[in-house]
Structure 1
Amino acid sequence: MHLAAADLPHRGGGRISLGHLAASALRREHRRRAIAGGAVLASALLLMATPRLRHSPALHLFADMRNLLGVPNTLNVITAYPLLLAGVPGLVLCLCGSGCFGISLRWEALGWFLFYVGNVAAAFGSAYYHLKPDDDRLIWDRLPMMISASSLLSILVIERVDERAGLSCLLSLLCLILVSSACERVLDDMRLWVVLNSAPCIAIPAMLFLFPPKYTHSRFWFIAIGFYLLARFEGLADRKVYSVNRYFISGHSLEHLCFAMVTLILTVMLSFRNIKIARDS
C-alpha cells in the first residue's frame, strides 16, 4: 500500500490516513509561520509609528549609586561579575564540543558559543559602564547582552524549527544589533534598540509553547526564561525594588544576578540533555 494512502488506527475506533496527518501538520506549520511573520510585521509597524526616542541623562541615574570601598556604584559593578563566573565554564565546555554538551547541530554550536561569549563580555562591559555611567560607555553594557539574547532566540529556532532558518535569524539579528547601535550613537534614536531588547521577552516564551523540543530536559528552558523575565522586570523596577528591600540591593543589581542564573541553568541543561526527536541538520 502506498504510504500516503495508509490508514492508522484512531483512539475513537476510526482510522486516520497518513495523508490527513501530513496535511494537519502542514497547517500547523503554516499557522506558526504566520504567527512569526505577524510578529515581525507588528514590530516593524510599531517601530515606524513610535516617535524617536532620544537619550536622557536620567538613563544613567540608577537607584543604588553608593560608593563602597572607593568603587563607584559598587554593587552595580560587583554584581556584573557573576556573569563571568557562570559564562566562562559554559564557554569552555562549549568549545570542547558535543562530548561535553548536548549539541548536535553545527550552527546550534555557534549560537551557544555566541551566547557564552556575550555573557563573558557583558561582565566586563557592564562593570566598565557602571564605574562611570555615560553615553560613551553605554554600548559596552548593552551590546553583549543583546548578542546573548539574540543568540538564545536563534538557538531555539535552530533546535525547534529549522537549522537554516535559525542561522538566518541569528545573522539578521546580529546585523540589526549593529544597526540599532549606529542609530543610537549617530541619530540619537533608541527605537530599534527597544524593539530588539523586547523581542526575546515575547518570542522565546512563545516558541517554548508553540514548538516541540528536540532534546530532553526542556523544563530547564522554562526555569531559565522565568529568571530572564524576572531580570527584565527588576531592571525596569530598579527604584521600587530598592525601596521594598529597605535599600539593601537595587533592582538593577538583582537584574545582573538573575542573568547569571539564566546562564547557569542553561549550562546545567546542556550538560544533562540528550536528543529526544531526531531532526536532519
Structure 2
Amino acid sequence: MITGPEQRKAGLLIGSALLLILVVLYWSPIIQPANFYDYADTRPCFGVNNFINVITNLPFALVGFLGIRLLSQIPAKQAAQVIEPEISSAYFLFFQALLATSLGSAFYHLSPDPFGLMLDRIPISLAFINLYCIVLSEYLSPRLGQKLLFPLNVFGLLAVMYWYLMTTYQEGPADLSAYVLVQLLPIVHLPLILMLCKERRPGGRYYLAALVTYGFAKLAELQDTTLYTLTGMWISGHSVKHLLAALAAWWIYRLLQLRTAKR
C-alpha cells in the first residue's frame, strides 16, 4: 500500500502519464514516415540481405541469454536481495524480450516490411514495459508494479498489433500513437522515479546509464545516413542504434550481476 510521500510521488507519475496521453492524443495520428524502410546500409554479405543491420542484432541475444542464465542461478532464498520477489517474472520477461528482439529485428531487416516490423516492435515494447514495472517496483511500490505488469504488457502487445492490422487492412497510413506512448511513458517516468524515490537496492546509476545509452541509440537511428557517410560507408546509424540499445540492456544485466556478487 502506498502512503504519505509515496502517494504524492505516485500522484506526480499519474499526472505526468495523463499529460503524456493528452499530448499523444493531440498529435495523433502519428504516422510512420513514408521512407521508413529505406535504410542507408543495404549491402548483402554471405548471401544475407542488409547484412550489417541483421548481424548487429546478435548483442541483444547475448544479453538476453546472459540475463536469463543469471536469474536462473539465483537461489530462491537469496533472490529477494537481487530482485523484487513480487514481480520476479518481469525480470525474466525483460531478458526474454531481448532474445525475441534479436530474432524479430534480424528477421525484419532481411526484408523490411510491415509484418517483420511488427515482429520487431512487439518484443521491444515488452522489454520497455517490463523494465518500467521493475523500476516502479524497486523504487516506489512492489504491489503497484505487480498490478500494472499484466495490463501494460497486454497494452504493449495490442498497440503494435493494432498498428499492423491498420497498416494491412485500411486505406492510408496507420496511427502509431499507442506504440509511441509505450516507449514515451518509460522514457519520461524512469528519470523521475530515479530522482524522486530512494533506492532500496543498489544500482540506480545503472538504470540511468541504460536510459542515457538508449537516448544515444535513438539519436544514432535518426542519423542513419549521416553516420553511414561519416564512417566511410562502414556502419550506418541504424546499426549503431542496435549496438547502443543492446549496451543499454547490458547495463541492466550488469546491475543484477553486481547485486548477485554482493549476496
TM-score by shorter chain over 0.5? yes
TM-score by length of 2: 0.87
Q: Deviations over 1:189-240 (max 9, x none)?
A: 2111112122222221221111111112332222222212211221222223
Q: Secondary structure at the match of 1:65?
A: coil
Match of residue 165 from structure 1: 144
Is 2:73 aligned against 1:87? Answer: no
Q: Which residue of 1 aligns with 2:44?
A: 67
Counterpart residue number, 2:249: 263
Q: Distance in 1 between matches of 2:208 and 2:10?
A: 22
Q: CA deviation at 1:31?
A: 3.2
Matched, 1:53 2:39: no
Alignment correspondent of 2:133 = 154
Cα-to-partner distance string for 1:236-265 (whole Å, 9 max, x where unaligned):
222232233332211111111112212222
Give 2:86's match in structure 1, choosing from 93, 99, 107: 107
Q: 1:250 aligns with which of 222, 227, 236?
A: 236
Give unpaired runs (5+ residues) of structure 2: 167-173
Q: Deviations over 1:69-125 (max 9, x none)?
A: 321111100000111112102111212335589534323321110110000111111
Give the C-alpha shift of residue 182 in structure 1.
3.0
**For each residue in 1:16-74, what CA deviation from the matched residue of structure 2 results, as whole angstroms up to 9, or x when unmatched?**
xxxxxxxxx96643431222111121122123222323445411111211122321111
TM-fit CA distance, 1:181: 1.9
TM-score, scaled to structure 1: 0.82
- Classify 1:102/1:247 alpha carbon distance in 2 versus 1 (closer, same or farther; 3 Å): farther
Structure 1: 5+ residue stretches without partners: 1-24, 277-281
CA distance in 2, matches of 1:104, 1:262: 19
Match of 1:18 in 2: none
Amino acid at match of 1:53: I
Check conservation: 1:63, 1:239, Cα contact below 8 A.
yes
What is the aligned length? 251
Q: Tell me which residue corresponds to 1:77.
A: 54
Which deviates more from structure 2 when the two are superposed, residues 86-95 or residues 243-252? 243-252
Matched residue, 1:193: 179
5, 8, 15: which one pairs with 1:38? 15
The structure with the greater share of residues assigned to helix is: 2
Cα distance change on mapping 1:250 and 1:105 into 2, 3 Å = same
Q: Deviations over 1:145-177 (max 9, x none)?
A: 111111111100010111110112222321211
Mapping 1:213-252, distance limit 5 Å = 213-252=199-238
Question: Match of 2:36, SS?
Answer: helix
Is this contact kept in 1: 2:79–2:85, CA < 8 A?
no
Bigger RCO of structures 1 and 2 (CA < 8 A, at least 6 apart): 2
CA distance in 2 between partners of 1:114 and 1:100 (Å): 16
When structure 1 is superposed on structure 2, of 162-171 and 92-101 the one drifting more is 92-101
Does structure 2 retain, via aligned residues, the 8 Å contact 1:242–1:248?
yes
